[in-house]
Amino acid sequence: MESQKVSKSYQAFPMNGGDGQQSYARNSMYQRRGTDITKNIIRETILEKLDLETLPQNSSDTFRIADLGCSVGPNTFFTVQNIIDSVDLKYQSQEYNKDSVEFQVFFNDHAGNDFNTLLKSLPEDKQYFAAAVPGSFHGRLFPESSIHVFNSSYTLHWLSKVPKEIVDKNSRAYNKGKIYFTSEDEEVAEAYSAQFERDLESFLNSRVLELVPGGIMILIILCVPPNSLNRFEASVNIIGDVLVEMAKKGLISEELVDSFNIPIYVPTSEEVKKLIKENGNFKIEKSELLFRLIDNDTYQIDAHSSSMHLRAAFEGFFKENFEQDTVDNVFVQFEKKLASESNFLADPSSKELGELFIMKRK
Amino acid sequence: MESQKVSKSYQAFPMNGGDGQQSYARNSMYQRRGTDITKNIIRETILEKLDLETLPQNSSDTFRIADLGCSVGPNTFFTVQNIIDSVDLKYQSQEYNKDSVEFQVFFNDHAGNDFNTLLKSLPEDKQYFAAAVPGSFHGRLFPESSIHVFNSSYTLHWLSKVPKEIVDKNSRAYNKGKIYFTSEDEEVAEAYSAQFERDLESFLNSRVLELVPGGIMILIILCVPPNSLNRFEASVNIIGDVLVEMAKKGLISEELVDSFNIPIYVPTSEEVKKLIKENGNFKIEKSELLFRLIDNDTYQIDAHSSSMHLRAAFEGFFKENFEQDTVDNVFVQFEKKLASESNFLADPSSKELGELFIMKRK
């Protein structure tokens, strides 16, 4: 048996733990909204596409679900419940006795995730056996053919590490004075895109072994339409500007800013489809773009909530590189800058979107 | 499917988390020594008693092990590794290709356990897929017929709750001015023993459903020879004396001491055997007394280490009832009292022992 040793090259970027004001649990409304939108699509697809012969059919069988990159909840609980309800419906539609089937749910995230908070907040009336699984989803996490439904929502944009070329002073992709890239920084963009390609490849190669034949993998991948304004890229580059200004004022070292880069890549929908096809292990049963227009009528967005959202997602990563005072200052300055660019916040072309992929083993 | 709702009547008593000076991780040498002693017995029994036909025999099968009441490590990792090595040997002895079998290990403890510390300290070279399972082992934790080997070492003396009679002022078992009992307190002792009986019953009824046919359950249960000096009982009653003295000095309220009781029952070996027999779900394949004579030649025992050991195990429970200052004071006073009773520490008749039971489903 192959060793399950976690490679040192995997970096972990946990969401903010606990349930305080700056926690992920209280600042993940974007993700929640994505969950609401996709609830029905997932339900329909499970009813339509889950293979009957893969469903456990007697009481000694277990139906296993895994949520990869679950963070600390509560979104993961809603998603998992929707999957269970959908599978229940599938059983009913086929007139199986669903009461004889037991569900086991695996909540996965990096070992640095705040599993204590997650496990203490499990729904009291949950109808499943729960387990937490630590480790990077870029490697193996589960025994062979053991999971019936995989879910992973808005997680695959996190790279397993910052591409090494962009912190190498001798590389053409060296990303001096920036913490991210725009489409104009060709070499840097290419290094990021190559890292995303390697990471998605190792993710898919692990999952194809772990999924039961006929099982379903549901991925929502953050992506952008080509050549459109990328809100994430724009926001992160504003944080980059804040850091560069702080370095100029001598508040932090310039070298630290040069070596600091955000390990995220937001691909285009076409890019993801091409990579899945090239990998060859999975067949896309359904894909659907989930536009999330920034629309003040349906979803209040302002500089403060936007900054809190990014802070909840990124603070852990920032804290690995900067002092707490610096991190606090960065997000205060970021919110100010964001507020002064209200056009950006209101711009109807500033889209965030995800693409939902429902896949099966080939 | 039955709801897995955790009953409010289960109380959780987590070991001290983290890896600081007063952590369970650094003060569980007693338990570790128990592990060393029993290592060979477990290995031999697995080789002898594990049914070949229950072993997964191709790569899509998984061998599942669960450690119940795992705390934060590292003892749980040694125990689990010993079980895996033993199962490996069993495969080899039968000339199966063990490389094709994957192991999955479930680490269980109460939801209040410090799973973050546990999951961060998983051995880097572990040869298994790890998962943490929160919840009381007095109820269901796993799907039906899903576990091949259960292990639980020195955990079943923890009751699911303090017996309600002993905190009821109108009961004959009301335990005023004490936090535990001696063999002379008949009604109180009986209330404790009845609670242990109910708890062991619900433990066994849950496990029989979860164990695969032919699987093995390894329990080490803390117990004492009848009528011998019970070190645990003696130590806890010394802590009780400390609390009563503090109440007399007005440092804590008398009422609080009256309502405070230790939810632990240390049965005799005969008592456990009788209960397992009456339950009727399991057949004892092997049982062995593990005497742990307090012997200064082989194991250094002094007031300080004895006090640190009890503190690591009980501080969490004390902190639910008393202020941190009070808890600190209690253990300082306890250590002093213990040091002044050096006869007790050196008494060769002051035995601690466990009984190892290896059981299979009937």
Tell me the per-residue pLDDT of B28-55, one tens digit each, with 9 for 90 and over.
555 445 556 678 889 998 999 888 676 6
Report chain A residues whose CB lies below 8 A from the CB of B125: 3, 5
The closest CB to that of A131, out of B98, B106, B126, belongs to B106
**What is the CB neighbour count within 10 angstroms for residue B54?**
18
Report residue B269 as tokens: 């070996």
- Residue-level pLDDT at B331: 92
The closest CB to that of B62, out of A104, A111, A146, belongs to A146
List all residues 6 or more positions away from B332 whose beta carbon is below 8 Å from its beta carbon: none
CA distance B285 to B41: 12
- Residue A182 banded pLDDT, cuts 50, 70, 90: confident
Give the residue-averaged pLDDT of B273-286.
96
- Residue A26 banded pLDDT, cuts 50, 70, 90: low
Report chain A residues whose CB lies below 8 A from the CB of B128: 4
- Residue-level pLDDT at A37: 66
Cβ-contact B115, B70 below 8 angstroms: no
Check CB contact under 8 Å for A119 and B130.
no
Report chain B residues whose CB lies below 8 A from the CB of A146: 62, 104
pLDDT at B298 exceeding the cut of 90 = no
Report chain B residues whose CB lies below 8 A from the CB of A144: 59-60, 62, 102
Assign domain A29-361 to its CATH superfamily.
Answer: Vaccinia Virus protein VP39 (3.40.50.150)
- Residue-level pLDDT at B342: 59
3-state secondary structure of B63: strand
Task: Give the residue carrying structure tokens 């591409």.
Answer: A163
**Interchain CB contacts (distance < 8 Å): A and B:** 114
CA distance A303 to A294: 13
pLDDT at A51 exceeding the cut of 50 = yes
CA distance B26 to B199: 29
How many angstroms away from the CA of A13 is the closest CA of chain B? 14
- Residue B5 banded pLDDT, cuts 50, 70, 90: very low
**Spatial CA neighbour of B46 closest among B65, B61, B69, B70:** B65
**Spatial CA neighbour of B303 closest among B249, B223, B234, B244:** B234
How many angstroms away from the CA of A161 is the closest CA of chain B? 19
CA distance A207 to A312: 28
pLDDT at B349 exceeding the cut of 60 = no
**Spatial CA neighbour of B266 closest among B327, B332, B182:** B182
Q: Which of A255-269, B229-243, B293-307 has the lowest mean pLDDT?
A: B293-307
- Residue-level pLDDT at B8: 34
Report chain B residues whose CB lies below 8 A from the CB of A129: 4, 133, 140-143
**What is the CB neighbour count within 10 angstroms for residue A343?**
8
- Residue-level pLDDT at A1: 39
- Residue-level pLDDT at A100: 74
- Residue B343 banded pLDDT, cuts 50, 70, 90: low
**Spatial CA neighbour of B194 closest among B224, B215, B163:** B163
pLDDT tens digits, A225-237:
766 666 778 888 8
Check CB contact under 8 Å for A4 and B129.
yes
CA distance A313 to A27: 8
Cβ-contact B106, B83 below 8 angstroms: no
pLDDT at A59 exceeding the cut of 50 = no
- Residue-level pLDDT at B193: 94
**Spatial CA neighbour of A150 closest among A60, A47, A223, A42:** A42
- HSE at residue A110, side-chain half, CA atoms within 13 A, is 18
- Residue A86 banded pLDDT, cuts 50, 70, 90: very high
List all residues 6 or more positions away from B243 whose beta carbon is below 8 Å from its beta carbon: B179, B252, B257, B260, B330
Check CB contact under 8 Å for A111 and B133.
no
Average pLDDT, chain B: 83
B352 or A81: which leads in pLDDT:
A81
Cβ-contact B151, B80 below 8 angstroms: yes
Average pLDDT, chain A: 83
pLDDT tens digits, B72-93:
989 899 999 999 999 999 888 8
